[in-house]
Structure 1
Amino acid sequence: MLTDPVATAGLVVREVRTGSRDGATTRLVVARRRYRTDRADLWQAVTDPERIPRWFLPVTGDLHEGGRYLLQGNAGGVVQRCTPPESFTVTWEMGPMVSWLSVSLAEADGGTDLELVHEAPVDPQLWDTYGPGAVGVGWDLGLMGLGLHVDSGAPVDPEEGLAFATTPEGRAFVGASAAGWADAATADGDAPDAARSAAERTTAFYTGAAPAQ
């Protein structure tokens, strides 16, 4: 699937921010990556319900402002804002948990820059255990799939995608991704040792490996 998984993980620029909504503390996971295609093509790849399943998950619903969407076996929510071909914002709802996802596209030399921002209320226990990688690694895997699709024009094999994290290449990718998110959390003020330990647990979670003792 990947010839150099660590280099592919390195294509993502990661940032963690601390914010607030309605008086509650939130943490924001920010991922940026440049894709070798124009903005119109990338916009279609991330918003067209016929194309999204080629690199992510099948989606149903109304993908317009005010409409509700549902990703098969995953999250659903409301399209809060959509400004083609620049950006969209949706709620990200899984059971009782509600967070917010924004994706924006900007023209750049040699392609298009995508920025993904996922903001969620802080669950201290979950954050201490897994850090931003709990969400960030999942998005890195999705952005990897998007890159494979955009570069080749072909759909990503769903079964291969599901099994990827358990392969040697997948374990290398997830480890590099989790370490990158630990660095981003440290830059936002988390203790370095705690951030690295959380990254190790995140890597074990995604790859099915036993966590380091």
Structure 2
Amino acid sequence: MGEIVDEIGRVHRKVGTRRVASESAGTVLLRRTFDAGAAEVWSAVTSPERIARWFLPVTGEFRVGGSYQLEGNAGGEILECVPEERLRVSWLFGPDPGFSEVEVRLTPRDGSTVFELEHVSVVPEEFRSQYGPGAVGIGWDLALLGLGWHLAGDGLSPEEAVEWQSSPEARAFVTRSGEEWGRAFAATGADPETVTATTVATVAFYTGE
């Protein structure tokens, strides 16, 4: 497994907004290059058996128009699927989730694959103002960390993953991730005090401190 600083530095992060119908949705974008071909990365992010090894167990009807459910997490509908290129799903969690979609895009490049994940969601203003984009971004950083380990053949067993989540290394990763999402938030022109407050609150939420 790579050093935490190296893993954090492999991801480009961007925060933005988008109009969805008459509402303003927040967006977080993560971009990382994996040393694997597009077919291998596509298999890792679409095969239920492999998803369970780096993310969470998943059930459903794996076709466009079908539904899926991640164990203890989000579920939704498979909206678009272009093999080895693009996957778009609704991403619904809780009793009243509102609009939320995730799109994964793959671009082959010299034997490696540029992986992009964009999450677009409409969230209550009180939640956004308290936690900022890092509330979504840190979770996806953790997911990409697991995917990277899986593709490198260095993944964790479910028992090891649970143990790792409470380790000093995991807390360091979450803290650095939160700081990077704070920088991405600041790049949008957000108020510095808001950036600091939301970063602290989100890191504390993920670390339990």
TM over 0.5: same fold? yes
**More deviation, 103-112/135-144:** 103-112
1:36 alignment partner in structure 2? 35
Instruction: Count how many residue pairs are aligned between Structure 1 and Structure 2.
Output: 207
1:157 alignment partner in structure 2? 157
State whether residues 19 and 25 of structure 1, in contact with CA within 8 Å, keep that contact through their aligned partners in structure 2.
Answer: yes
Cα offset, 1:110, TM superposition: 5.0
State whether residues 74 and 94 of structure 1, in contact with CA within 8 Å, keep that contact through their aligned partners in structure 2.
Answer: yes
SS of the residue 1:93 aligns to: coil
Q: Deviations over 1:100-141 (max 9, x none)?
A: 000010012351111000001142111111111111000000
Cα offset, 1:205, TM superposition: 1.0
2:72 alignment partner in structure 1? 73
User: How many Å separate the matches in 1 of 2:163 and 2:182?
Assistant: 24
Residue identity in the other structure for 1:142:
A
Q: Deviations over 1:56-109 (max 9, x none)?
A: 001100121000000011110000000001011000011220400000100123
Residue identity in the other structure for 1:131:
G
2:184 alignment partner in structure 1? 184
SS of the residue 2:91 aligns to: strand
User: How many Å separate the matches in 1 of 2:164 and 2:204?
Assistant: 14
Q: Deviations over 1:135-158 (max 9, x none)?
A: 100000000000001001x54222
In the alignment, is residue 115 of structure 1 matched against residue 116 of structure 2? yes
2:15 alignment partner in structure 1? 16
Structure 2 alignment gaps of length 5 or more: none
Q: Deviations over 1:21-69 (max 9, x none)?
A: 1110100010111111000000000001111111000110012100000
In the alignment, is residue 134 of structure 1 matched against residue 129 of structure 2? no
Aligned-residue RMSD, C-alpha:
1.4
User: How many Å separate the matches in 2 of 1:26 and 1:3?
Assistant: 34
User: How many Å separate the matches in 1 of 2:195 and 2:164?
Assistant: 24
2:81 alignment partner in structure 1? 82
Residue identity in the other structure for 1:190:
A
User: How many Å separate the matches in 1 of 2:125 and 2:151?
Assistant: 37
State whether residues 33 and 113 of structure 1, in contact with CA within 8 Å, keep that contact through their aligned partners in structure 2.
Answer: yes
**More deviation, 6-15/33-42:** 6-15
In the alignment, is residue 124 of structure 1 matched against residue 129 of structure 2? no
Cα offset, 1:161, TM superposition: 2.2
Identical residues among aligned pairs (%): 43
